[in-house]
A = this chain, B = another copy of it.
């Protein structure tokens, strides 16, 4: 089975709506980063077999948390090492975080459950 896990920094104490927007950015970025289309008006997004299963299935998304930027980046690095599809979101800080660009969350997958659990298996649900 395939899932996508979104890891959110709890230490930033973001509003619920801010968390939701950042998580949606991350979830989507995994796909948009794969765009190979050369026409600005048509994205072409190649999918691997796990992604196909996920898209044709129930789009399982699990949102978990960490308590620091260090832990967030550790997840991102490990996901890359395991060659999992992953995306890091850095908020520009234009409307929050006192103008400071801030790493807020990471999406990992869609990919095989067991492989993502090697990165996020110990993290708690948000």
Contacts and interface: CB of A to CB of B under 8 A. Distances in A.
Interface of A: 6, 8, 15-28, 31-32, 37, 40-49, 52, 55-56, 58-59, 61-65, 92, 125-126
A24 to B, nearest CB: 4
Given A44-B42, A47-B43, A61 B19 contact: no
A20 B59 contact: no
A61 B125 contact: no
A41 B32 contact: no
A117 B122 CA distance: 41
A18 to B, nearest CB: 8
A47 B125 CA distance: 34
